[in-house]
Amino acid sequence: MTAMTFVARNVADAAAAASQCAILPLFQDEKLAGAALKLDKASSGSIKAALELGDFTAKLGESFMLVGTGPAKRILLIGCGNSNTFNREAARKFSQTLYHALSNKQASEAMLHLAGLGLKEKEAKWMLAYLARHLVAASYRYTATISKPRSAMKLSRLVINTKGALKLQLASSALNEGKATGQGIAEAANLANLPGNICTPSYLAQQARKLARSSGKLSVSVVDEKQMRALGMGALLSVSAGSEQSAKLIVMNYKGAKAGTDPQVLVGKGITFDSGGISLKPGAKMDEMKFDMGGAASVFGTMHAVTTLELPLNVVAIVAAAENMPDGRATKPGDIVTSMSGKTIEVLNTDAEGRLVLCDALTYAARFKPAAVIDIATLTGACVVALGSHATGLFANEDALAEQLLAAGIDSHDRAWRMPLWDDYQAQIKSNFADLANIGGAGGGSITAACFLSCFAHDYNWAHLDIAGSGWNSAPKGATGRPVALLTQYLLDRAGE
Ligand code: BES
Ligand code: MN
Ligand code: ZN
């Protein structure tokens, strides 16, 4: 992964600062001022001349690259639209424009003159965090199994001139948060993009151990199938029964707060390939079911951010990793399994496997006396029908937790939408032969799946994020790294309480 460095500095004279590229935000309705005016004068009026050409009008999303004649070798003008409509949406557009303008250039370093945006402290911090996150996440390239990978952006160092805009220390911490989140997103996307023959449950367990080696506050334990049997995890084991790959319950324990502080618990669905099992999926697009560990990948990505930022929280991450395959030993439709909770489950469809691995992980989570448990899963095609790819489906058994997650999603622009978990739906997962059925029949598929999970989450505040739509794209195929930004923001918010 390309490493990117972000530095905040107070540069007194913008025109005297050596840089491969000076970046100037410009508004349509404002005269050249500050750094822009200084750089214009130092480059014999080239910025004014560019504006007079009419090719660049400072509309939001426009950019124009000039050759600098002074200490700045290039001058990149970025259009910011109207100064009084510059909101967060515009700030995101600004970051995307900056990325696009530099992604095919040779500059390895650049200096952004922030004051030109005229932002208040809170918005300037938000802007820098988003910018750092976006540059890191957008420049991620999948390289693992490609002989000649596409080249990534050359830019590896961005200096922010905070002079007249923001205190250095606030800028640095915003940049750090953004960078760590961006790396977490890239990390999650990369894991999810890996094929099922590389990214197996054991591979995920290795990744957890690797992460633990990078942080003194993180320890890892892996529950193997023998231990699962002893714990009575009949639901989880029923999913891996048909696979050559043995299931792993990966537990990452991050201790950033006082011992005894109730942890935030993240639980990820880690189906490294979902063939559907005996209820085999159709062949078309079955390859996409390598993404069925996207929830687990987002847990890894979030833990990457948590350990990098050394958040003052206790966080437990549990990944329920298994491969769902047909075989002579595979679970059959109609089979009844006993979960760790003691509840029996009639497996009416072996393709509804996510809830089977998650229910045992949720029961296991109770031992950590969680402040809250959040599971993340590519759980249902029905969620894609309901919400498409823009919103993550949110379900919760507690309103305050739901509000916190919705707020973190809005703040980080990694949004979720709450769905109902009413008792009325519970009737759909009744079974004649067991305590529960693993499918709910026609209608409300993402809700009945969540209802199923809720039966195993009575003992604590719990939320479920269905990322079947938001976690990856079909065209071009690739993981999105969601909802790492939402989860990281949620944890940053808890750390700030
Ligand atoms: N992993 C799938 C859900 C999924 C589907 C994720 C499409 C992303 C895109 C899950 O295990 C599954 O197969 N769910 C079934 C449930 C059904 C059998 C009740 C589904 O959604 O069809
Ligand atoms: Mn399935
Ligand atoms: Zn699945």
The CATH number of whichever domain residue 102 belongs to comes to 3.40.220.10
CB 263 within 8 A of CB 388: no
Tokens 């999970």 correspond to what residue? Answer: 453
Say what the alpha-carbon torsion angle 485, 490, 494, 496 is, to the nearest 10 degrees: 50
> What is the DSSP pairing of strand 218-223 with strand 248-255?
antiparallel
- Residue 235: inside a domain, yes or no? yes
Digit-coded pLDDT (tens) for 172-197: 999 999 999 999 999 999 999 999 99
CB 361 within 8 A of CB 269: no
The model scores a pTM over 0.95: yes
Among protein residues, the one with the nearest Cα to ligand 1's atom 16 is 352
Query: Any idea which ligand is nearest the CA of 320?
Result: 3
Give the residue numbers spanning the domain of 100: 5-179
At residue 371, φ and ψ (nearest 5 deg) are -70, -40
Digit-coded pLDDT (tens) for 211-264: 999 999 999 999 999 999 999 999 999 999 999 999 999 999 999 999 999 999
- Residue 192: inside a domain, yes or no? no
At 315, list the tokens.
């966080």
Which residues neighbour 13 within 8 Å (Cβ) at sequence distance 6 or greater? 38
Quote the longest CA-to-CA distance of the chain: 84
Under the phi-then-psi rule, with left for phi > 0, alpha for psi from -120 to 50, and beta for the rest, what region is 74?
beta
355 among known catalytic residues:
yes
CB 392 within 8 A of CB 419: no
- Residue 382: inside a domain, yes or no? yes
CB 291 within 8 A of CB 345: no
Question: Stretch 52-78: mean pLDDT, rounded?
Answer: 96
Tell me the CA–centroid distance for residue 324 and ligand 3, in Å.
8
Same domain, yes or no: 230 and 374: yes
Question: Stretch 376-405: mean pLDDT, rounded?
Answer: 98
Residue 1: what pLDDT?
57
Query: Which residue among 351, 451, 452 has the greatest number of ligand 1 atoms within 8 angstroms of its CB, and so is best to mutate?
Result: 351
Tell me the CA–centroid distance for residue 285 and ligand 3, in Å.
13
Number of domains present in the structure of the chain: 2
Same domain, yes or no: 143 and 231: no
Same domain, yes or no: 426 and 283: yes
Same domain, yes or no: 171 and 204: no
- Residue 185: inside a domain, yes or no? no
Pick from 145, 179, 213: which residue ends a domain? 179
- Taking CB atoms within 8 Å and a gap of at least 24, the contacts of 418-425 are 418/394, 419/386, 419/393, 419/394, 419/395, 419/446, 419/447, 419/450, 420/447, 421/395, 421/396, 421/397, 421/447, 421/450, 421/451, 421/454, 425/451
Residue 162: what pLDDT?
98
| Ligand 1 pocket check for 292: Cβ under 6 Å | yes
Digit-coded pLDDT (tens) for 86-104: 999 999 999 999 999 999 9
Same domain, yes or no: 20 and 55: yes
Same domain, yes or no: 283 and 374: yes
- Residue 398: inside a domain, yes or no? yes
Residue 180: what pLDDT?
98
Pick from 115, 145, 179: which residue ends a domain? 179
Residue 377: what pLDDT?
99
Same domain, yes or no: 409 and 454: yes
Residue 111 scores a pLDDT above 70 = yes
Ligand 1: which atom is nearest the Cα of residue 353? 11
Question: Stretch 413-428: mean pLDDT, rounded?
Answer: 98
| Ligand 1 pocket check for 239: Cβ under 6 Å | no
Tell me the CA–centroid distance for residue 3 and ligand 2, in Å.
36
Same domain, yes or no: 393 and 439: yes
Pick from 179, 210, 227: which residue ends a domain? 179
**Residue among 196, 167, 446 at smallest CA distance from 296:** 196
Percent of the chain with pLDDT over 70: 100
Tell me the CA–centroid distance for residue 380 and ligand 1, in Å.
4
Query: Which residue among 291, 380, 438, 451 has the greatest number of ligand 1 atoms within 8 angstroms of its CB, and so is best to mutate?
Result: 380
- Residue 34: inside a domain, yes or no? yes
Question: Stretch 44-58: mean pLDDT, rounded?
Answer: 95
Percent of the chain with pLDDT over 90: 98
Looking at residue 416, which CATH number applies to its domain?
3.40.630.10
Between CA 464 and CA 395 the distance in angstroms is 5
- Residue 190: inside a domain, yes or no? no
Q: What mean pLDDT is reported for the chain?
A: 97
Question: Stretch 429-455: mean pLDDT, rounded?
Answer: 97
Same domain, yes or no: 242 and 107: no
Give the confidence band of 324 by pLDDT, cuts at 50, 70, 90: very high
- Residue 194: inside a domain, yes or no? no
Same domain, yes or no: 213 and 135: no
At residue 144, φ and ψ (nearest 5 deg) are -50, -40
Residue 151 scores a pLDDT above 90 = no
Residue 404 scores a pLDDT above 80 = yes
Same domain, yes or no: 130 and 266: no
Same domain, yes or no: 220 and 367: yes
31 among known catalytic residues:
no
The residue annotated as part of the active site, out of 74, 290, 355, 415, is 355
Digit-coded pLDDT (tens) for 249-286: 999 999 999 999 999 999 999 999 999 999 999 999 99
Residue 2 scores a pLDDT above 90 = no
Residue 454: what pLDDT?
98
Digit-coded pLDDT (tens) for 122-148: 999 999 999 999 999 999 999 999 999
